[in-house]
């Protein structure tokens, strides 16, 4: 009987959550006076309930953001989220917001909408660093794959930092981080150009050059996470193989149309 009662309470809580927080169109990215405080409160709740914090950065104008927000509140994924995660949405506006949130967890910027951060509330470590950006294609990710993804990370043990016992790897990672910071500044500058154009487009006043600018920035920003992952994987592999005096080759990206020499 106690187990049945507990299960009924869980179902009731889930129904209340669905009724209170969902929108049929997934428009759950709402402006906040203090998104950092919202995230910190979610981390506290996650810690107290022995769950992971799930921080979803997105926007209501983005169909991928809405698709993920809606899916997170529908069965069978809703049960996984309710059981294993403390969920908080962060509105990135028209790309002028959200960077300060990801920087709290050691990231230079967010490159996709939505961006999904799974955080261990005790260590404040980003659990899903390797693939946090894949949800930029959330509309095309099936429910089954979504459930598998969040179940996988909920059951994963913390991974040891590969840099812990290697001064050489720490140096290589520092070089990669510096490279990413340079790219992130270019992305931020691009958001400052394309964001107002996006806002005008959403308002029904589409600038003539919006499509070209949007595509240009999208291709650039979405190439960054995979490039960084390949660099880190190469650094780990070469250090483990005993290579010395490792010189990584960093990819080069052409100037964007609004950039100058």
What number is the average pLDDT over the span 136-153? 96
Cα–Cα distance measured from residue 107 to residue 212, given in angstroms and rounded to the nearest whole number: 27
pTM: predicted TM-score of the whole model, two decimal places: 0.87
pLDDT of residue 19: 38
pLDDT of residue 226: 93
Q: What mean pLDDT is predicted for residues 5-17? A: 37
Q: Which candidate, 50, 30, 55, 20, places its Cα nearest to that of 40?
A: 55
Beta strands in 29-143 (DSSP E): 52-58, 85-91, 115-120, 125-126
pLDDT at 131 > cutoff 70: yes
Predicted pLDDT at 23: 55
- Could you read off the pLDDT of 197-210 as tens digits, one per residue? 999 999 999 999 99
Residues pairing with 119 in the sheet? 53, 126
pLDDT, tens digit (0-9, with 9 covering 90-100), for 151-197:
999 998 766 677 767 899 999 999 999 999 999 999 999 999 999 99
Give long-range contacts, CB 8 A cutoff, 24+ apart: 172-178. 172/235, 172/239, 172/246, 172/248, 173/232, 173/235, 175/248, 176/228, 176/231, 176/232, 176/235, 176/248, 177/108
Give the pLDDT confidence score for residue 102 in this predicted structure.
96
Return the half-sphere exposure (C-beta side, CA atoms, 13 A cut-off) of residue 216.
18
Q: Can you give the pLDDT at residue 261?
A: 66
Which pLDDT does position 159 carry in this prediction? 67
Confidence of residue 132 (pLDDT cuts 50, 70, 90): confident
pLDDT value for 17: 38
As a whole number of angstroms, the distance between CA 223 and CA 24 comes to 32
Q: What are 18-34's pLDDT values in tens digits?
A: 333 555 589 999 999 99
Pairing status of strand 52-58 against strand 125-126: unpaired
CB 114 within 8 Å of CB 135: yes
Judge whether residue 134 has pLDDT over 70. yes
pLDDT bucket at 12, cuts 50 / 70 / 90: very low
pLDDT of residue 160: 67
Nearest to 84 by CA among 54, 116, 40, 41: 54
pLDDT, tens digit (0-9, with 9 covering 90-100), for 81-118: 999 999 999 999 999 999 999 999 999 999 999 999 99
Output the pLDDT for position 24: 58
Task: Write the pLDDT tens digit of every residue in 217-255.
Answer: 999 999 999 999 999 999 999 999 999 899 999 999 999
């Amino acid at each position: 009987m106690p187990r049945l009662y507990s299960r009924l309470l869980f179902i009731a809580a889930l129904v209340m959550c669905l009724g209170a927080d969902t929108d049929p169109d997934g428009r759950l990215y709402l402006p906040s006076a203090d998104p950092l405080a919202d995230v910190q409160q979610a981390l506290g709740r996650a810690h107290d309930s022995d769950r992971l914090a799930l921080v979803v950065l997105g926007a209501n104008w983005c169909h991928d953001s809405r698709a993920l927000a809606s899916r997170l509140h529908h069965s069978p994924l809703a049960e996984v989220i309710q059981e294993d995660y403390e969920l908080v949405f962060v509105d990135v506006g028209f790309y002028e917001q959200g960077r300060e949130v990801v920087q709290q967890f050691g990231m230079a910027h967010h490159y996709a909408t939505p961006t999904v951060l799974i955080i261990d509330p005790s260590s404040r470590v980003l659990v899903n660093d390797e693939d946090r950006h894949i949800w930029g294609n959330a509309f095309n990710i099936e429910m089954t794959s979504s459930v598998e993804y969040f179940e996988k990370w909920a059951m994963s043990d913390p991974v040891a930092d590969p840099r812990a016992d290697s001064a050489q790897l720490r140096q290589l990672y520092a070089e990669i981080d510096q490279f990413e910071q340079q790219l992130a500044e270019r992305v931020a500058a691009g958001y400052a150009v394309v964001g107002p154009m996006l806002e005008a487009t959403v308002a029904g006043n589409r600038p003539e050059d919006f499509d070209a600018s949007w595509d240009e920035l999208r291709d650039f920003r979405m190439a960054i996470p995979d490039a960084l992952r390949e660099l880190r994987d190469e650094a780990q592999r070469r250090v483990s193989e005993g290579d010395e005096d490792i010189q990584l080759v960093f990819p080069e990206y052409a100037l964007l149309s609004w950039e100058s020499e």
